[in-house]
Amino acid sequence: MSRHKTHKSHRSSWLRAAVLGANDGIVSTASLIIGVAAADSTHAGILLSGVAGLVAGAMSMAAGEYVSVSSQSDTEKADLETEKRSLDEDTEYELMELADIYQTRGLDSSLALQVAKQLMAHDALAAHARDELGLSENAKARPLQAAIYSAGAFTVGAALPLLAAWLTPGTQLIFVVAIFSLILLATLGSLAARTGGASMVIGAIRVTFWGALAMGLTAAVGKIFGVFV
């Protein structure tokens, strides 16, 4: 009787970018709004700073993710080209190298060599990419995907505390934005952990703690500078 198992690793590339983007959107925008509000700014000024933070943050996340993941992609391509040249120039050495890898994983020498020969006969470059370089299709660098997920998630995350600030003028703004943002962060952390197959409680605590710290520090800075400016 066969059992169907669902693995989570194929979600790692887009999940990391989406969670990072949404988390940054909530934390940075909420902190910015709270900091400006703590400096006794007008409601219009608070909203303007929030909108500016949303636009700038989304573009920054997109550019940062694209550049960093592109660098990773370039490195992967360079490694594959090096491996391809080595396979063309010294196939026997590459065969023994692959067999040694399987032997260190627990196969006896004859079986390791047999497995290496069969895999190289099927697709030598793919075998070395996977087992020597540690590259797989699930973890492949995708710059454009990372940029889109990150910027989109940031925009959604940033829009939520901004909406709370827009609907809450007056003295309650800081409290409402802070509580609403912490609830969002806890929810995000739980959902991200569940999607990745980790503990929802730990995921919620992790992002909520750092979000609360960021908002608290920004509020303190806004209060201090608001006295002198």
Residues 180-211: pLDDT tens digits? Answer: 999 999 988 888 777 767 788 888 898 899 99
Query: Does the residue 69 lie in any domain?
Result: yes
Residue predicted with more confidence, 120 or 206? 206
Strands (E), 42-93: none
Q: Is pLDDT of 7 > 50?
A: no
Instruction: Look at 2-6, 87-91, 116-120 and tell me which has the smallest mean pLDDT.
Output: 2-6
Average pLDDT over residues 127-139: 71
Average pLDDT over residues 209-217: 92
> What's the structural domain count of the chain?
1
Query: Does the residue 37 lie in any domain?
Result: yes
Query: Does the residue 120 lie in any domain?
Result: no
Axis-axis angle for helices 109-131, 91-104 (nearest 10): 100
Collect all residues with Cβ–Cβ distance below 8 Å to 27 and sequence separation of at least 6.
Answer: 181, 185, 210, 211, 214, 215
The pLDDT, as a whole number, for residue 198 is 78
Collect all residues with Cβ–Cβ distance below 8 Å to 5 and sequence separation of at least 6.
Answer: none
Q: Residue 213 sits in which domain range?
A: 9-78+143-228
The pLDDT, as a whole number, for residue 27 is 93
Q: Is pLDDT of 10 > 60?
A: no
Instruction: Look at 2-6, 25-29, 92-96, 202-206 and tell me which has the smallest mean pLDDT.
Output: 2-6
Query: Does the residue 97 lie in any domain?
Result: no
Q: Which of the four pLDDT bands, split at 50, 70 and 90, describes residue 225?
A: confident
Q: Which of the four pLDDT bands, split at 50, 70 and 90, describes residue 150?
A: confident
Query: Does the residue 42 lie in any domain?
Result: yes
> Distance (Å, rounded) from C-alpha 155 to C-alpha 57?
8
Residues 153-183: pLDDT tens digits? Answer: 899 999 999 999 999 988 899 999 999 999 9
Query: Does the residue 99 lie in any domain?
Result: no
Query: Does the residue 217 lie in any domain?
Result: yes
Q: Is pLDDT of 141 > 70?
A: no
Mean pLDDT, all residues of the chain: 83
Q: Which of the four pLDDT bands, split at 50, 70 and 90, describes residue 3?
A: low
Query: Does the residue 201 lie in any domain?
Result: yes
Percent of the chain scoring above 70 in pLDDT = 87
Collect all residues with Cβ–Cβ distance below 8 Å to 31 and sequence separation of at least 6.
Answer: 214, 215, 217, 218, 219
Instruction: Look at 1-10, 40-49, 117-126 and tell me which has the smallest mean pLDDT.
Output: 1-10
Percent of the chain scoring above 90 in pLDDT = 33
